[in-house]
């Protein structure tokens, strides 16, 4: 399970703590993007804040009325600096944005880390300023929760602006992971000068600060959320996300903040969509029901049982009840491959990738390979290229029309199928008359092999022209063009 993966990662963090300061940044390996370059004229021009598409609510739209499908990588140090196994890291201002732009991505997350110790320590800049020297649980100066640190908000605004310039949408995450609230969080009484106690039962775990049980903390968090909104409201590329993996005990707290964001932005020039994410499998059972019951405009599900997660292996088809972004972070931590990307896309989902952009050491990749990661990045860029050429307004999941069960279709007009194991596939073209063009698409490099035209009116068995997983496009409309990454 994902919990085990995180356990080993944290064990490595602790075991390497004594030598952190001795490790040079020269050990960091940045994985190169594809050879092709994205020119500014090719970048998506963001025209207005997103809203849910009225005709196909699995996806987003803007003032143009067309479908906007979101996919892309994100990484921990997207706003703040921190210390990992390889030492102190200060991310270049926009290097990661350039990296995902080169891969053809149009979405990322901007992580908030409001307490040191989860994945990275010594996180700066903090949301709040510190006061005069005193003894605290992290041997630094206590926080003054009455004073925001403007440097943090300026940094956040700068990242949002840079993403907007590159045609990249961002989910601004208000709160980090709830699993590390045993650490030096702002809201533990030993870490602030304001007498705020986010651990009233004294068990060392300040989960109460993610509930509505301590009104003083809720009031502080409300003001922080409003401050973030004021900082980025002017930008069209913004979405909001309440928290990264906060458990079921935080549900009502998250519902409260979703309502707060909507109420606050109703008074402002622009309104942006709000998302709610899974607890990431840290709590047993299925937590997707609370996501669908929320007032969130989009959701990001995770584990659906104690021992498995259907979104990993055979993602359920999106029904349109909510726009669904699926994120490897809430499934594996770091994991997933190009097959997972295409399976998710063909089920009407929008895949996102927790990216080991900076390879600190083997624990940061948890057994994955550079080829796996890069193929997943490339696959996301390819799905976006395909999404921009097919008519996603009318093409919805039709598992029953392909023997592979992975199929987006507008019956009678176009069929996009994915064959995870390659080989043969049977497509039901009973509702389609006349001749149709056939294309086979490599799911990693985007190269296309043109097939022979076929006739509709019944079921057709087709054989892939090459071995391995492959994408099939059958249409009576325009074929796919300029997809290749070669």
Residue 486, burial from CB neighbour count under 10 angstroms (0-12, 13-18, 19+): exposed
CATH architecture of 396-475: Sandwich (2.60)
Per DSSP, the three-state class of 341 is helix
Domain ranges of the chain: 2-387, 396-475
For residue 422, give Cα distances in angstroms to 192, 298, 444.
58, 32, 14
Per-residue pLDDT at 6? 45
359-378 pLDDT, tens digit each: 544 555 556 788 999 999 99
135-150 per-position pLDDT tens digit: 555 556 899 999 999 9
pLDDT at 90 over 80: no
Q: Following CA atoms 207, 210, 211, 217 in sequence, which dihedral angle do they give, to the nearest 10 degrees? A: 110
Range 121-136 average pLDDT: 77
Residue 112: exposure state from Cβ atoms within 10 A (0-12, 13-18, ≥19): buried
Q: Give the chain's mean pLDDT.
A: 86
Judged against a pLDDT cut of 70, whether residue 35 lies above it is answered with no
| CATH code, residues 2-387 | 3.20.20.80
Cα angle vertex 468, ends 463, 470, to 5°?
A: 65
CA-based R_g, the chain, Å: 23
What residue has token string 């359920």? 316
Residue 414, pLDDT score:
97
pLDDT above 70: residue 338: yes
**CB 312, CB 288: distance < 8 Å:** no
Q: What is the model's pTM?
A: 0.90
């Amino acid at each position: 399970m994902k919990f085990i993966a995180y356990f080993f990662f944290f064990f490595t963090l602790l075991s390497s703590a004594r030598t952190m300061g001795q490790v040079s940044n020269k050990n960091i390996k940045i994985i190169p993007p594809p050879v092709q370059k994205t020119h500014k004229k090719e970048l998506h021009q963001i025209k207005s804040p997103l809203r849910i598409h009225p005709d196909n609510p699995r996806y987003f739209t803007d003032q143009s009325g067309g479908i906007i499908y979101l996919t892309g990588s994100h990484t921990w140090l997207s706003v703040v600096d921190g210390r990992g196994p390889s030492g102190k890291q200060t991310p270049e201002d926009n290097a990661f944005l350039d990296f995902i732009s080169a891969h053809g991505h149009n979405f990322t997350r901007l992580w908030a880390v409001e307490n040191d110790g989860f994945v990275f320590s010594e996180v700066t800049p903090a949301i709040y300023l510190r006061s005069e020297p005193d003894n605290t649980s992290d041997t630094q100066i206590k926080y003054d929760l009455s004073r925001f640190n403007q440097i943090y908000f300026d940094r956040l605004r700068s990242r949002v602006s840079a993403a907007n310039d590159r045609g990249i949408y961002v989910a601004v995450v208000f709160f980090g992971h709830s699993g590390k609230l045993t650490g030096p969080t702002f809201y533990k009484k030993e870490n602030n000068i304001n007498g705020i106690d986010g651990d009233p039962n004294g068990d060392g775990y300040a989960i109460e600060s993610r509930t509505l049980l301590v009104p003083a903390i809720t009031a502080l968090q409300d003001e922080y959320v409003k401050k973030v909104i004021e900082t980025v409201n002017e930008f069209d590329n913004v979405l909001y996300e309440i928290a990264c993996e906060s458990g079921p005990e935080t549900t009502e707290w998250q519902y409260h903040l979703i309502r707060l964001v909507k109420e606050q932005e109703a008074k402002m020039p622009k309104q942006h969509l709000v998302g709610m994410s899974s607890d990431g499998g840290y709590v047993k059972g299925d937590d997707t029901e609370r996501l669908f019951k929320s007032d969130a405009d989009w959701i990001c599900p995770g584990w659906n049982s104690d021992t498995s997660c259907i979104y990993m292996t055979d993602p359920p088809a999106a029904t349109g009840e909510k726009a669904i972004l699926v994120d490897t972070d809430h499934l594996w931590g770091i994991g997933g491959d190009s097959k997972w990307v295409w399976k998710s896309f063909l089920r009407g989902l929008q895949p996102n990738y927790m990216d080991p952009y900076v390879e600190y050491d083997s624990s940061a990749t948890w057994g994955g390979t550079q080829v796996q990661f890069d193929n997943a990045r490339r696959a996301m860029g390819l799905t976006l290229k395909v999404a921009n050429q097919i008519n996603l307004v009318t093409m919805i999941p039709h598992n029953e029309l392909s023997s592979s069960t992975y199929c987006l279709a507008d019956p009678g007009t176009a069929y996009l199928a994915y064959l995870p194991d390659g080989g043969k596939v049977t497509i039901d073209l009973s509702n389609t008359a006349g001749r149709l063009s056939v294309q086979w698409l490599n799911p990693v490099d985007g190269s296309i092999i043109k097939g022979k035209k076929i006739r509709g009116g019944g079921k057709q068995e087709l054989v892939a022209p090459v071995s391995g997983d492959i994408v099939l496009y059958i249409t009576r409309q325009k074929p796919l063009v300029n997809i290749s990454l070669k």
